[in-house]
């Protein structure tokens, strides 16, 4: 039987009662007018929950934060028929918050500039505009061959411990001074992993433009479930209200799917392929669709998503990977064999793609990197063929040597992002033949020295490249002169 709806302080309130509680899932009677994603309060201590489903006689709610005693059958439930909102604002920059946007860094409370719904609607097509600016990741193999645009959704997937998070962290490190606010959302990871990220950010001064949303494996299931939506809501505030460019990293959505599967078992929802209920597709698509570049009428801000997904033994056909591949604008596949060979970041060029980023790439980069992907793939195929032969011709050996040089160019250490302008210098040197005499072992030191040399001798070349973003005849002439000077001294 439904309990009466009461009017209090000109706000409609509805009262119900907890009938049954299974871990963090409460069965509630009396909430006849509730909606999915609605906030509820349980008991006198203010325990918080959110509506996540329905049965014929009950409303199903997820308890996300306990205050005082745990929820028991018979506890009164109160709802104001409002969607679940979280505080957002400029004060969140430089702070670490939990899956409910509450500070967990031991500092002062964060003043809220506004309240945003966690399950916000994605902007419509007419509110968006085509991507027009590159998001510089600082990862050479990404910026050269799989570039990302501001407002894009680029998936990072691969097996466990292959460097997926390192790619995302390098991208955040590279945003210093580029007018991009970053949000790192940790979902279901160990506290030690989060501590390493926090220490890195503190050491490199990243928190000046970054917010951490942390819902580790030890946090309540409800907070792990809500964390990515909260991170997106914080990002939407900066995109909508402040007209800023925002980067959000979800690390990772596989664990978010695991959490939802646990909830679904308690909710009694039928499992489907690989034991996941079918609505996990809707949950993730609702999330990633919130990334976009807004049109000028909406302020022109953007929000870029880098979701991370874990595969098992390289299987990209699993339910969660294929779901998220279908709803993103490209993927970076991190390969275990490449990682084992020492090729880092271990991104498999053949299985990685960016469906949008090439359009916003620097003209200079696009002109130089156009054939790089093909050359590298041909080198890998040639390398496989020559492994079974005792000897090869001089022509094949030259192609293999050039391929090894290209591979060394694409290698990069963790937490060492490379500016786009330096990448252009390296590629120009490669195409101009300045690296033909190098052995693969010399490439790393040579390319770092080239950047330092040009910055010291001709800083105007760097400035012109950063402004024009293309190689004019004058710039090519100046670069050729510098390569001739540096090439002799370096060798």
pLDDT of residue 27: 94
Which position has the token pair 């801000």?
301
- d(CA 103, CA 97) in angstroms, rounded, equals 4
Quick: pLDDT tens for 350-386. 899 999 888 899 999 998 987 788 888 888 888 887 8
Quick: pLDDT tens for 392-435. 788 888 888 888 999 999 999 999 999 999 999 999 999 998 99
pLDDT of residue 1: 39
- d(CA 260, CA 241) in angstroms, rounded, equals 31
Sequence-ordered strand ranges (E) for 45-195: 47-54, 59-65, 76-83, 85-88, 96-97, 114-117, 134-135, 148-149, 155-158, 180-187
- d(CA 64, CA 50) in angstroms, rounded, equals 7
pLDDT of residue 158: 95
Domains parsed from the chain with CATH numbers: 5-82 (2.40.30.20), 87-361 (3.40.50.300), 367-490 (1.20.150.20)
Bridging pattern class, strands 180-187 and 210-215? parallel
As averages over each run of 10 residues, the pLDDT of the chain (491 residues) reads 42 88 91 88 88 90 85 90 90 96 94 93 93 94 94 96 96 95 97 96 96 95 95 97 97 94 88 85 95 94 97 92 95 95 92 89 90 85 76 81 91 92 94 89 92 93 93 93 75 42
Closest C-alpha to 246, from 303, 299, 206:
303
Helix pair 473-490, 459-468: axis angle to 10 deg: 140
Which residues, in sequence order, are bridge partners of residue 53? 60
Whether 355 is a known active-site residue: answer yes
Which position has the token pair 């391929």?
403
Which position has the token pair 């709610």?
61
Which of 128, 204, 261, 355 is catalytic? The answer is 355
Is the CB of residue 78 less than 8 Å from the CB of residue 86? no
Quickly count: other Cβ atoms within 10 Å of residue 180's Cβ.
Answer: 21
Mean pLDDT of the chain: 90
């Amino acid at each position: 039987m439904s309990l009466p709806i009461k009017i209090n302080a000109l706000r409609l309130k509805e009262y119900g009662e907890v009938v049954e509680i299974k871990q963090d899932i409460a069965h509630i009677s009396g909430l006849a007018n509730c909606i999915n994603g609605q906030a509820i309060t349980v008991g006198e201590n203010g325990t918080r929950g959110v509506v996540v489903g329905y049965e014929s006689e009950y409303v199903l709610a997820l308890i996300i934060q306990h205050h005082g005693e745990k929820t028991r059958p018979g506890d009164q439930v109160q709802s104001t028929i409002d969607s679940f909102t979280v505080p957002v604002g400029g004060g969140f920059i430089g702070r670490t918050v939990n899956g409910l946007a509450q500070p967990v860094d031991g500092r002062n409370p964060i003043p809220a500039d506004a309240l945003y719904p966690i399950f916000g609607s994605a902007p419509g097509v007419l509110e968006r505009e085509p991507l027009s600016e590159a998001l510089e990741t600082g990862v050479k193999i990404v910026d050269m061959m799989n570039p990302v645009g501001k407002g894009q959704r680029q998936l990072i997937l691969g097996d466990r411990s292959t460097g997926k998070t390192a790619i995302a962290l390098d991208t955040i490190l590279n945003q210093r001074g580029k007018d991009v606010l970053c949000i790192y959302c940790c979902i279901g990871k160990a506290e030690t992993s989060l501590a390493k990220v926090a220490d890195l950010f503190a050491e490199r001064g990243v928190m000046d433009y970054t917010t951490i949303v942390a819902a580790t494996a030890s946090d309540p299931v409800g907070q792990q479930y809500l964390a990515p939506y909260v991170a997106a809501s914080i990002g939407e505030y900066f995109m909508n209200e402040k007209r800023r460019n925002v980067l959000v990293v979800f690390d990772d959505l596989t664990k978010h799917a695991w959490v939802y599967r646990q909830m679904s078992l308690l909710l009694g929802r039928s499992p489907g392929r690989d034991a996941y209920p079918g609505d996990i597709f809707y949950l993730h698509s609702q999330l990633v669709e919130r990334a976009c570049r807004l049109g000028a009428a909406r302020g022109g801000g953007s929000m870029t998503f880098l979701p991370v997904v874990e595969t098992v033994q390289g299987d990209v056909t699993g339910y969660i990977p294929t779901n998220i591949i279908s709803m993103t604008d490209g993927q970076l596949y991190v390969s275990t064999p490449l990682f084992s060979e020492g090729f880092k970041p271990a991104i498999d060029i053949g299985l990685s793609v960016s469906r949008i980023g090439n359009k916003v790439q620097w003209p200079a980069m696009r002109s130089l990197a156009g054939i790089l992907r093909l050359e590298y793939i041909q080198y890998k195929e040639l390398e496989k063929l020559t492994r079974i032969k005792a000897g090869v011709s001089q022509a094949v050996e030259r192609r293999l040597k050039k391929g090894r040089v290209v591979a060394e160019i694409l290698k990069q250490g963790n937490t060492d992002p490379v500016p786009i302008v330096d990448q252009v210098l390296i590629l120009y040197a490669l195409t101009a033949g300045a690296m033909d005499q190098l052995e693969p072992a010399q490439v790393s030191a040579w390319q770092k020295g080239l950047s330092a040399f040009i910055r010291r001798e001709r800083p105007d070349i760097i400035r012109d490249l950063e402004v024009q973003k293309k190689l004019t005849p004058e710039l090519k002439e100046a670069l050729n002169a510098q390569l001739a000077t540096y090439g002799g001294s370096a060798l």
